[in-house]
Amino acid sequence: MTQKNVCFDIRQYLINQGITEPIFIDKEPPTPNLCVTLYTNSFNAPNPKFLLNEPSIQIRVRANPLEHSQGYDLIQAIYDKLLGVPPFVLNTTRYTGILAESDIMSLGRDDRDRVIFVGNLRLFVEPLKTNQNREQL
């Protein structure tokens, strides 16, 4: 069994940490106005020798233009919960670190005039599955 999209684990982690706004994976729906969407954004190939992957994800927060600061505060809260997090295990994966690949950026507004903020994070992931050709760290 291959490791599933890490966005599912990060969504669960954020929910466990108290993020209550809706969190979607890889597709942002037209509603609600205030929401979080996590996108797989990996540019890093898995380590060929060791069970260490470094996938990247993009966090996108959308908010009503009248709640501009609410949208920014939400993505900042997500950054605060993820950056510098101690190692944790979810499902079949050990997450040993998360770092920012970018600061929080504004993408302007969508076709409904809602504000959009994004940020990119790199995850350090050790699959716990051992029946692979790669060695555990």
What are residue 64's DSSP bridge partners? none
Do 135 and 49 form a contact (C-beta atoms < 8 A)?
A: yes
pLDDT band at 65 (very low <50, low <70, confident <90, very high): confident
Residue 127 pLDDT grade (very low, low, confident, very high; cuts 50, 70, 90): confident
Secondary structure letter of residue 66 according to DSSP: G
* Residue 102 maps to a domain: yes
2-18 confidence digits (pLDDT tens): 457 899 999 999 999 99
**Domain assignment present for 1:** no
The answer to whether position 54 is within a domain reads yes
Domains of the chain: total: 1
1: pLDDT strictly greater than 70 = no
In a domain? residue 90: yes
Pair type for strands 23-25 and 93-100: unpaired
CB atoms within 10 A of CB 75: 22
**Taking a C-beta distance cutoff of 8 angstroms, is the pair 99, 88 a contact?**
no
pLDDT tens-place string over residues 69-108: 999 999 999 999 999 999 999 988 899 999 999 999 999 9
Q: Which residue range(s) make up the domain with 19?
A: 6-127
Classify strands 93-100 and 115-127 as parallel, antiparallel or unpaired: antiparallel
CATH label of the domain that carries residue 77: 3.30.2000.10
The answer to whether residue 137 sits within a structural domain is no
In a domain, 116, yes or no: yes
Structural domain contains residue 92: yes
Does residue 133 fall inside a structural domain? no
